[in-house]
Structure 1
Amino acid sequence: MTNKFEAVKAAKDGLAVKDELEHFAAIGWQDIPEADRDLRLKWLGIFFRPVTPGKFMLRLRVPNGILTSAQLRTLGEIVDRYGENGNGDITTRQNIQIRGILIEDIPDIFERLSACGLTSVQSGMDNVRNITGSPIAGIDGSELIDTRPLVRQLQAMITNNGQGNPEFSNLPRKFNIAIEGGRDNSVHAEINDIAFVPAYRWGVLGFNVLVGGFFSARRCEAAIPLDAWVPPDQSVVELCRAILELYRDHGPRANRQKSRLMWLIDEWGIDHFRSAVTAKLSFPLHRAAPKDEIDWEKRDHLGVYPQKQPGLSFVGLHVPVGRLYAPDFFELARLAQFYGNGEVRLTVEQNLILPYVSNTLLAHLLEEPLLAKFGIAPPPLQRSLVSCTGAQFCNFALVETKNRALALSAALDAELYVPQPVRIHWTGCPNSCGQPQVADIGLMGTKVRRNGQTVEGVDLYMGGKVGKDAQLGTCVRKGIPCDDLQPILRDLLIEQFGASPRTDDLPQNSHLNVTAESIAVA
């Protein structure tokens, strides 16, 4: 038994459309064969969106979430040509998606991306998605392992240095890899198909390995230990290759709802799976270290913090639900170039970091107009807000998410004093791109009946925990109409998160990293 996706892949590899882009650009989106337009173009990161016909989304690959000023300017130029139809989003995999793209512009856009060192190859469908790593890799004073070189090596292996790699272009389903180099699980290791977390074995620092974490409409599972430890070298790349080859060659394909790596592990058992992995390696696979080094609560990196490099700081900016427009790209490029080393880091919370800022320039940076929009100390509920694309642009979404999430969080922040950050995640459908299962409060879009009408609603998730002892939350209430949500969340915040009705004399952000303290520390 097979399914339509496997039939499409069997007929022609997704990467084959790379040679047809000029033709597609010439004939226009309406005349592109449906299987190419709706499916195979995703192998190049190009997504047809029925809710915005003729306007495509382009998903990039940004390994470890690191962009340069030149790359930001290029993205700004691409978005800018589409006016009000163009924008970009920071994703929950430290990535960028840009919208409003016209198919006739794709050849030129790909030339521009290549010229600045960016690629979108194999960023969608049944491929390894953007590889995440510690967002303050190389600048964190408490860092254990710098993840940047390993993430770059992995991307090069999986994508053939951005040219496209047929070895890994026909997996049973999508695949996520994360490498954590710090103590606070900044990458959400537990929700990745392969995750590496720092651990000492025999006094040597390396990684324990987790496998099988995923979200889907059918099932959500946290990653489980492979009972394996590897040093922070080429062994990481070779181990990933071995697991990917096993998944490619033996992973279930008949039912796409049962095609993620964990289903293969279930079928084989973890011991058999580990043995099969070991047999493909050129080195002995050591048993896992007794404990890993994830022993901190998760940081969100918003604010100003000293780097391990003397005299320098990194500045974490809050980008409301990750949405960027052309002027934002241009201004971020300027700020990164003028105040830092021309680099910007993205986080899985859909925010960004300006690293390598001289302490002598901090006060000037904090006065820049863009920081009034992308602040370092947002109100508590907006601070920890995450949202998927939603029905505005995604045909899978059952509800509008980003605008609603912002409006509701702002209303609740105005109504309540919240003594601690509360992570609220919105996702428009059961595919869980907004990751409600890792949130303190997760909201998954659905349709509900209200007064005899079908309206937008959510299922409520609770209990997700990140950082050390991470765990997935579960659905505790179904079918809440979105119009009824504010009082329900208000009561929930009061009863379970210590919130209280606001009065004028209560400070909004007293628990946050604040400007004066940050500069003094730096």
Structure 2
Amino acid sequence: MVNTKPTGTSFLPEETLERCEKGNPTEKVKLAVDPVNAWVDIYEYARKIREGEMTWKDMEKADIDTRVKYVGMLHRNKRTPGQFLMRLKVPNGIVNSDQMRFYADSVEKYGAVNGVVDITTRANIQLRGVKLEDAGDIIDGLHARNQTSFQSALDSVRNMVGSPLAGIDDHELVDTRVLCNAVNDLISMDPETETRGNPQWANLPRKFNIAISGSRDDFAHTHINDIGLQPCVHAETGEMGFNVVLGGFMSIKRVAESVDSGMWIKADRESVVTFCEAILRIFRDESERKDRQKARLMWLVEKYGVEDFKKAVIAEVKSYDRGVEIFDEQPRPTEKFERRELLGVHPQKQVGKVRVGIMVPAGRLSATECRQMADLAEKYSDSEIRLTVEQNAILPNVAEDDVYELLKEPTLNGDSRFRVNPGFIEGNVVSCTGAEFCSLAMIETKSNAEAMGKKLETLVTIDRPIRIHWTGCPNSCGQVQAADIGIMGGPARKMNEETGKMMAVPGCKIFVGGRIGEDAHLSLEPYKTGIPIDDESLLPELVEILKAEFGAVDKK
């Protein structure tokens, strides 16, 4: 197989290339061998390993650590050497039973511990345990099912987040499905060959996140995305469109909430795609190439100033000559609105249909659980499954007459981890990968998050959902600053009874008071620090916070 696509580097202007040449190590790796080559090289690596010509250890360091990330493969070298996380692209978080079974088939051979599937905080899918020799077959299987892993990691536009209730919501303002798929195709579909992998966006300075909200609930969490589209009616014309917020991101050095851009665009496909393309072009060619910590969109917006950045985007869009207009930001609605819940059984706008939200603890699925979810969807929701940024799942379009039978299914009862009506705490736990697989994590998160959620349910009663997020390190992949209670891995010390000395132990910082929805707010300063994560230390702290800040009472 030979690469016939232009390089990602070929789309960069001369001035950008000069900055790349003087840039950080990742930029130099991308210049040495273009990331686009990985889309072909991965098949050759797989063949050579299968035929015994090489092993994964024979790969060049730049390939295994950097370039294969453009195929969506991230080497877990410290925890599972020779095995990879494969991140997909699941626009709007919508999958089907066939795809879910394919995920199960893809990871099952790697064993119950390593071969698992995760739902992410971008309503995406990650396959764990993948070996290089199997990568080509998995990629082909994904492409046959209209999915891809290409351009899902490193300096790429990440999964397109939309509304999990798109098309079924009686409070819907915009159906995000078409828009998410259109922007996903802009990013990862080559318009020349109509194959996955678009070299035009194969050399960005850093990762880039886009979220499109479909209602006032903002289930997409637009405030922590580089581009956030928030539905809003134009005050004069009555036409539906989006107010645009820019620059939200989380990283080890800085966490930033998005800022109002002063712009409003129409909610049609051409306007949304053109607007995103314009910002991506400016970001690709003008953002930082030396300091990766300053290579996110917010830094570029601040360099311009919001008003001048707005002018630059308007000029860029105008240069495309597609008839797309950018208007001034429109007044947001002020009528009282209460954000709705996604777990449980809820009516749809379609008469006789309901949506059924299912808890998937910490977003972790075994191969067996993938198949169980696929079976439920095939039987009750026309094989459709919606993923959420809370790492749970929704079965849409369930007939009202079938709900009783659905709720009696063994998969949703007994020893199963799935629940339709979980407690207000255990049902709202979110977790990053944690130390089980991630070398950056300071603590194990997924198993602790699931276990701690169950234990808290036995200790306190509370009258509303409380979102507890876990993240293993300051990169905050678990988005702890957006949570009611956020638990971030960090240093801690505890008295060792045998030695009588304070010893370093796995610990955490606790954040309190993050909000999502229209009144979104990030909690940037820790509420407490240096708390050991063992039950004896952390449980009493969390119980006290639940009582003091959220009105919980002791369980009778």
TM-score category of the 2 structures, normalised to the smaller one: over 0.9
- Opposite residue 325 of structure 1, the aligned amino acid is S
Q: CA RMSD in A?
A: 1.4
- Matched residues in 2 for 1:294 and 1:197: separation? 16
Is contact 1:43–1:123 with CA below 8 Å preserved after alignment?
Answer: yes
TM-aligned CA deviation for residue 375 of structure 1: 0.9
The one of 239, 242, 245 equivalent to 1:207 is 242
- Equivalent positions of 1:424-503 (< 5 A) are 424-451=468-495, 452-474=502-524, 475-483=526-534, 484-503=537-556
The one of 224, 232, 254 equivalent to 2:290 is 254
Equivalent residue, structure 1, for 2:92: 64
The one of 287, 312, 317 equivalent to 2:358 is 317
- Matched residues in 1 for 2:477 and 2:80: separation? 19
Q: Any idea what the Cα deviations from partners look like across 1:333-355, whole Å, max 9, x if unmatched?
A: 12211212211000000000001
Equivalent residue, structure 2, for 1:334: 375
Between stretches 147-156 and 465-474, larger displacement belongs to 465-474
Query: Any stretches of 5+ residues in structure 1 without a counterpart?
Result: 504-522
TM-aligned CA deviation for residue 293 of structure 1: 7.6
- Matched residues in 2 for 1:435 and 1:415: separation? 25
Equivalent residue, structure 2, for 1:508: none
Equivalent residue, structure 2, for 1:509: none
Normalised by the size of structure 2, how large is the TM-score?
0.88
The one of 337, 349, 368 equivalent to 2:409 is 368
- Equivalent positions of 1:86-125 (< 5 A) are 86-125=115-154
- Matched residues in 1 for 2:129 and 2:325: separation? 49
Equivalent residue, structure 2, for 1:45: 72
- Opposite residue 45 of structure 1, the aligned amino acid is G
Is contact 1:183–1:294 with CA below 8 Å preserved after alignment?
Answer: no
Normalised by the size of structure 1, how large is the TM-score?
0.94
TM-aligned CA deviation for residue 378 of structure 1: 0.8
Q: Any idea what the Cα deviations from partners look like across 1:472-507, whole Å, max 9, x if unmatched?
A: 01222222121221111111111111111111xxxx
- Equivalent positions of 1:76-91 (< 5 A) are 76-84=104-112, 85-91=114-120
TM-aligned CA deviation for residue 357 of structure 1: 0.9
1:423 aligns with 2:467: yes
- Opposite residue 206 of structure 1, the aligned amino acid is G
Equivalent residue, structure 1, for 2:458: 414
Q: Any idea what the Cα deviations from partners look like across 1:398-436, whole Å, max 9, x if unmatched?
A: 110011111222111111112221111000011110000
Equivalent residue, structure 2, for 1:507: none
1:388 aligns with 2:432: yes
- Opposite residue 164 of structure 1, the aligned amino acid is G
1:168 aligns with 2:197: no
Is contact 1:206–1:232 with CA below 8 Å preserved after alignment?
Answer: yes
Q: Secondary structure at the match of 2:317?
A: coil
Equivalent residue, structure 2, for 1:516: none
- Matched residues in 1 for 2:540 and 2:178: separation? 47
- Opposite residue 208 of structure 1, the aligned amino acid is N
- Opposite residue 402 of structure 1, the aligned amino acid is K
- Opposite residue 488 of structure 1, the aligned amino acid is E
Is contact 1:296–1:467 with CA below 8 Å preserved after alignment?
Answer: no
- Matched residues in 2 for 1:404 and 1:210: separation? 34
Equivalent residue, structure 2, for 1:29: 56
Query: Any stretches of 5+ residues in structure 2 without a counterpart?
Result: 1-21, 49-53, 319-323, 496-501
- Opposite residue 530 of structure 2, the aligned amino acid is G
- Opposite residue 104 of structure 2, the aligned amino acid is G
Q: Any idea what the Cα deviations from partners look like across 1:258-313, whole Å, max 9, x if unmatched?
A: 11100011111111111111111133311011215896333331111111111111
Between stretches 280-289 and 148-157, larger displacement belongs to 280-289
TM-aligned CA deviation for residue 450 of structure 1: 2.9
Equivalent residue, structure 2, for 1:506: none
Equivalent residue, structure 2, for 1:185: 218
How many residues align? The count is 503
Q: Secondary structure at the match of 1:196?
A: strand
Equivalent residue, structure 2, for 1:237: 273
- Matched residues in 2 for 1:468 and 1:295: separation? 11
Equivalent residue, structure 1, for 2:397: 356
Q: Secondary structure at the match of 1:24?
A: helix
- Matched residues in 1 for 2:349 and 2:325: separation? 35
- Opposite residue 385 of structure 1, the aligned amino acid is V
Q: Are residues 428 and 254 of structure 1, via their aligned partners in 2, closer, same or farther at CA, if it must alter by over 3 Å? A: same
- Matched residues in 1 for 2:216 and 2:256: separation? 22
Q: Any idea what the Cα deviations from partners look like across 1:74-131, whole Å, max 9, x if unmatched?
A: 1111122222221101000000111111111111111111111110110000110001
- Opposite residue 504 of structure 2, the aligned amino acid is T
Is contact 1:28–1:104 with CA below 8 Å preserved after alignment?
Answer: no
Q: Secondary structure at the match of 2:230?
A: strand
- Matched residues in 2 for 1:195 and 1:79: separation? 33
Is contact 1:49–1:56 with CA below 8 Å preserved after alignment?
Answer: yes
Is contact 1:197–1:292 with CA below 8 Å preserved after alignment?
Answer: no
1:280 aligns with 2:330: no
TM-aligned CA deviation for residue 453 of structure 1: 2.4
Between stretches 206-215 and 417-426, larger displacement belongs to 417-426
- Opposite residue 204 of structure 1, the aligned amino acid is E
- Matched residues in 2 for 1:79 and 1:22: separation? 18
Q: Secondary structure at the match of 1:217?
A: coil
TM-aligned CA deviation for residue 170 of structure 1: 1.3
- Matched residues in 1 for 2:335 and 2:279: separation? 24
Q: Are residues 397 and 83 of structure 1, via their aligned partners in 2, closer, same or farther at CA, if it must alter by over 3 Å? A: same
Q: Secondary structure at the match of 1:82?
A: helix
TM-aligned CA deviation for residue 443 of structure 1: 0.9
Equivalent residue, structure 1, for 2:11: none
Q: Secondary structure at the match of 2:506?
A: strand
Q: Secondary structure at the match of 1:432?
A: coil
- Matched residues in 2 for 1:208 and 1:13: separation? 36
- Opposite residue 509 of structure 2, the aligned amino acid is D
TM-aligned CA deviation for residue 448 of structure 1: 2.5
Identity %: 45
Is contact 1:396–1:429 with CA below 8 Å preserved after alignment?
Answer: yes
Q: Secondary structure at the match of 2:425?
A: helix
Q: Secondary structure at the match of 1:281?
A: helix
Q: Are residues 297 and 222 of structure 1, via their aligned partners in 2, closer, same or farther at CA, if it must alter by over 3 Å? A: farther
- Matched residues in 2 for 1:291 and 1:357: separation? 33
- Opposite residue 555 of structure 2, the aligned amino acid is R
- Matched residues in 2 for 1:326 and 1:236: separation? 37
Q: Secondary structure at the match of 2:549?
A: helix
